[in-house]
Amino acid sequence: MNDAVRLVEVGARDGLQNEARTLAPAVRAELIGRLVEAGLRHIEAGAFVSPRWVPQMADTDQVLARLPKRADVTYSVLVPNERGVTAALAAGASEVAVFTAASEAFNQRNINCSIAESLARFEPVLQQAKAQSVPVRGYVSCVLGCPYQGHVPVEQVVRTASALARLGCHEISLGDTIGAGVPSAVRELLAACATALPLERLAVHFHDTRGMAVANCLAALEQGVRVFDSSVSGLGGCPYSPGATGNVASEELVYLFEGLGLNTGVDLDRLVAAGAFVDGHLGRATQSRVARAHHANNAANTTINSEST
């Protein structure tokens, strides 16, 4: 087994865009800086989308301008169209990401077009990015179920992911948007995708709606996947998926993978501290069980140490 895995930290984009409170660019930039200090090297920094529809992602250009420039860190931003990629490239993003769904119903509700129309929109986006040697990541939502149409055929996921690869996306993230998946379904999905695409080009993105996200990540790992999207403190959800909770917590994946002897490159103490920082600004409690245990252990140790002095 390859002893290294890569976490794509999505908390500062996919996480924050689904939180009720909007954070200032300076706070979002500080969060990302803390995540870099924790050892994360692939971070979603924001999105160039309409602030009318996603106010939490307004001023992403200001966030990028505040970030530490490091050759070993990828700052990715989500873009929906040509206007978005033009703004992203001007702001200095080191990767752009495009998004579609394996469900026609979800695509219509989410971005008001069919799957085929969304793919057509991406062609000029990839052309612009390629002209500036900026890689493009692709997202496929609803790979294990849709809130509107229910079951999503595996074959449709494979077709959509393959289309993104043909367009030029260097990596395709498969998203369980509503958190409906179980390990057996994950294994079936990845086995099907592996017939069309190298597993090295695939990542997985699980929501923890039914408490299956960590188990699903382990199933994906056993299938050969080595890239996992995760969100500090379990930030996030999905406004188009009623009842969907946050992304799998980065803390939980670091704990899992390091416990298996795999190298994440992430310092768990610093990651937990970054989660506490953003939770404080959002006025929320962490959704990460690992972080809660970490805080409890630290509090217990503080009590023991104070009693022994």
Quick one: how far is CA 110 from the chain centroid? 17
Alpha helix segments (H runs only) across the chain: 25-37, 60-66, 82-91, 104-111, 115-131, 154-167, 183-193, 213-223, 250-259, 268-282, 289-308
261: alpha, beta or left? (left if phi > 0; alpha if psi -120 to 50): left
User: Are the beta carbons of 18 and 58 closer than 8 angstroms?
Assistant: no
Structure tokens at 254: 């670091």
Q: Is 113 a catalytic residue?
A: no
237: alpha, beta or left? (left if phi > 0; alpha if psi -120 to 50): left
Between CA 176 and CA 186 the distance in angstroms is 9
Between CA 135 and CA 168 the distance in angstroms is 9
Between CA 91 and CA 62 the distance in angstroms is 8
Q: Is 243 helix (H, G, I), strand (E, B) or coil?
A: coil
Q: What residue type is 251 in one-letter code?
A: E
Distance (Å) of CA 86 to CA 65, 93, 119, 200: 16, 10, 18, 28
DSSP 155-217: HHHHHHHHHHHHHT-SEEEEEETT----HHHHHHHHHHHTTTS-GGGEEEEEB-TTS-HHHHH
Q: Which residues are catalytic?
A: 238
